[in-house]
Structures are given as C-alpha cells and as structure tokens.
Structure 1
Amino acid sequence: MRVIAVCLLLCVCLPVKAIESTVIINNGVEKRQFSRTDIRNIFSARTQYWSDGAKITVYVLDAQTEAHKDFCREMLKMFPYQLERMWNQITYSGQGERPQTVATEAELIEAVKNTPGAIGYAYHTSALENVREVAIP
C-alpha cells in the first residue's frame, strides 16, 4: 500500500511534458526539408527570405502564452526573452521586422494558410487544413 502511495505521489509531482509543437508553412513554400537550425534562424529573423527570394512572414502566439514559451524552449532551444531580444535588435537596427503576433492558434493557422511564404507553429495538428507540416529531423 505504501509503495502505491509513493508511486502516485511521484506521478503527481513529476513535471508533465507539454504537447509537442509542429512547425507549419504555407502550401506555396517550395522548401521541403528544414533543420532545427533553419527553423531557429527563421523564427529569430536571421533568415528573412526563402531560397526563391520570397519574403518569409513569421506568425507567433503572444509571448506570454504557455504555447509560445513551450515552442521557444522545445523547438528553438531558447527562452522567450532571448527571442524577444533578437527581434528587438533586428527591428531597431532597421534590418527586418518582428513576427506577426496573433491571439489564438486558430488565427495563426488561418494566417499561415492565407499568407504566401508564411510560417508558424501549431499544437493541434488535427485542425490543419491547407497548410503543410514541416518535418524536422
């Protein structure tokens, strides 16, 4: 009985891993393969154009949402404040633009679907229509 109680206590106390995010792109984007470095460079605004010269439009959720924090930590391997600093540096130096922030995941998916060259992330992949999931090795 004591062993069961200890096991239950451990299960309750252990952190739960967040649902894994999926990077999504507009169907018109030609590129098929992305490395984690490619994704990090795109979301940090270091890479602003696709290989065909088309402008990349990045969509993200608000920085205060758990989904955005998880995406930064799990996919980009950085903290949200680090990403924010990169965006500020690029924006204030005139070298680029900040990503477009949307309120909900549904809005993000819709924006990626309707914007040529767009990229974003999603957690509920069953809701994805007319956008492509990116395979990242």
Structure 2
Amino acid sequence: MKFLQKLCWCLLLPLSMSLSAAEVVVHAAVTEQQLSRAQLRAIFSMRQSRWPDGTVIRVFVLASDHPTHINFSRQQLQMFPYQLDTIWNRQRFSGIGSFPTQLLSEEEMQLALQQTPGAIGYLSVGTIPNTLQVITPYEN
C-alpha cells in the first residue's frame, strides 16, 4: 500500500508544482515573522504546541488531496502529504498527540485564521487578506 501511495505522489508531483504557490499564514496577533523550515515541520507535525510568547498554536490544514495542501507540503515543508498523515496518525494512535484541525476550503481557512488567536495555516498566493500575516520561511 505504501508503495502505491508513493507512486501516486510521484505521478502527482509534476502536477502539484504547476499549481500556484502556498504561503504560510498566521493570525495577526502572532509576533513571529519568520520561521525556519525545521520550526514549520515541528509545528505542522504537532510537536511544537506554543509560540515563543507562550500562546497556544492552533494548526489548521486542508485535506491531504487538496491542491493547496499538496503545494504547501512540498514547497514549504519539503515533505509529501502522506508523510504528514503518517506522523499525525502515529501520534494520535499512540496517545502522544493529536491531529490538526482539518478544514474544507481556503475560505474556511481564512476565516479560522482570522478568528483564532495563535492560529497557523496556509493559503494560495493571491488569496491572502491583509488581516492575516504571511510568515517567511528560511533554511536553517
């Protein structure tokens, strides 16, 4: 089964790279302006649960097969979506973690990010309202 998943993602990778880029976006009150790729991976794999100021991080994601999620995973985390699913499942079923909140659309993502202090998620470039803050990732 894993071989089949990997094969599917390898076939979908060229398609996902042709779609628009995805940006990491946070609630306006989050003070961080840059995060390393390692920090992004820790946050989205549910291993980092608080911002440096102590605020709880609320992670929002789209479905694993959503084009924006695919682009975010590949471009920002440099991971395949199935790898994130595996991490979330392992943590959830071992009792040491939980899943991020999964939303149905980018419109829901915008609303959740605007209304939830400490929230982090991602949106397609060109769809980000000025009420949210874009995080600039950097290599560590």
Same fold (TM over 0.5): yes
Q: Deviations 1:4-30 (Å, cap 9, x if unpaired)?
A: xxxxxxxxxx86632111100001112
Q: Deviations over 1:74-126 (max 9, x none)?
A: 21111111101111122222222211111110110110110010000000434
Matched residue, 1:79: 80
Structure 1: distance between partners of 2:87 and 2:52: 22
User: Is 1:132 aligned with 2:133?
Assistant: yes
Contact 1:24 1:120 in 2 (8 A): yes
Mean Cα displacement is larger for which, 121-130 or 68-77?
A: 121-130
Other-structure match for 1:4:
none
Cα RMSD (Å): 1.8
Per-residue deviation, 1:128 = 1.3
Aligned to 2:47: 46
Q: Is 1:56–2:57 an aligned residue pair?
A: yes
Whole-Å separation in 2 of the counterparts to 1:62 and 1:71: 12
Which is greater in Rg?
Answer: 1
Q: Return 5+ residue gaps in structure 2 as ranges.
A: 1-13
How far has the Cα of 1:58 moved from its partner? 0.6
- Indicate the residue corresponding to 2:11 in structure 1: none
The structure-2 alpha-carbon separation of the partners of 1:126 and 1:71, relative to structure 1 and needing over 3 Å to count, comes to: closer
2:71 aligns with 70
- Structure 2 contact 50–57 (Cα < 8 Å) conserved: yes
Equivalent position of 2:104 in the other structure: 103
Q: Following the alignment from structure 2 to structure 1, what is the Cα–Cα distance between the partners of residues 39 and 45?
A: 10
Q: Normalization by structure 2: what TM-score?
A: 0.80
Pair 1:127–1:134, CA change in 2 (3 A): closer
Richer in strand (by share):
2
The unaligned stretches of length 5 or more in structure 1 are: 1-13
Q: Specify the SS of the correspondent of 1:122.
A: strand
Separation in structure 2 between the aligned mates of residue 52 and residue 106 of structure 1, nearest angstrom: 28
Moved more, 87-96 or 105-114: 87-96
| Alignment size in residue pairs | 124
Partner SS state of residue 136, structure 1: strand
2:36 paired with 1:20: no
